[in-house]
Amino acid sequence: MEETQAPSHKVFVYDKIGVFFKHTDYHGFVHPYNYFEWTSYVREAFFRETVAGFRQILDTPIKMMTVKIESSAFHDSYFGDCIEAQLTISRIKKVSFDVIVRFSNKLSRQIVCTTKHTLVFIDSDTQKFADIPDDLKKAVVEHEENEP
C-alpha cells in the first residue's frame, strides 16, 4: 500500500478494491452497503501496516469499538470499476479518534463516497474507557488531518 505525504499529514492509500457482480444491486450500481464493508478492510489494513505490534495489541484486553458511523454518497460506481480508498484520522482524543475514508474512482478521480466513524477504546476486563495504545497512537497522529 502507498503512503502519500501531504503538507501536514500522511494519507493511507488502499487500492485493492475492485467492483464485482456481488457488489452491485438490482440496477447495477454498487450497493451502498459495500462502502461500509470496504471501510472495515481499509481500516484493518491501515492498522496492520502502520501500527507496530498490532497483533500483540489485539491480544490485550484493550478493544476498539465503533460507536458511530456515517456516510455520504456523491457518485455511482459500477461493475468493473476500480476504487481507491484514502484513510486519514481526525479528532484524536484520549480514548477515541475518528477514521475518515474517502473512496474515489481510480479512472475518473471522482470521490464516490466518504465514510467517517468513531473508534473508542475499552478495557474489556474493567469495562472502562482505556487510553489509545501508544504504538497505535503514534500511527494515528501521523495521519491526523486538520479539520477545516
Q: H or E element: which one contains 71?
A: strand 62-73
**Which grid coordinates belong to 126?**
474493567
Contact, 112 vs 74, CB < 8 A? yes
User: Which of 56, 60, 72, 110 forms a contact with other proteins (CB under 8 A)?
Assistant: 72
Query: Helices in the chain by DSSP H: which ranges?
Result: 33-50, 54-58, 134-142
Q: How far is the CB of 79 from other proteins (least distance, A)?
A: 16
Range in contact with other proteins (rule: CB under 8 A) among 12-20, 70-78, 87-95, 99-107: 70-78
Tell me: does residue 6 bind other proteins (CB under 8 A): no
Task: Count interface residues toward other proteins (CB under 8 A).
Answer: 21
Q: CA-to-CA distance for 75 and 78, rounded, in angstroms?
A: 10
Which residues here bind other proteins, judged by CB under 8 A? 26-27, 29, 31-33, 36-37, 39-40, 63, 65-73, 117
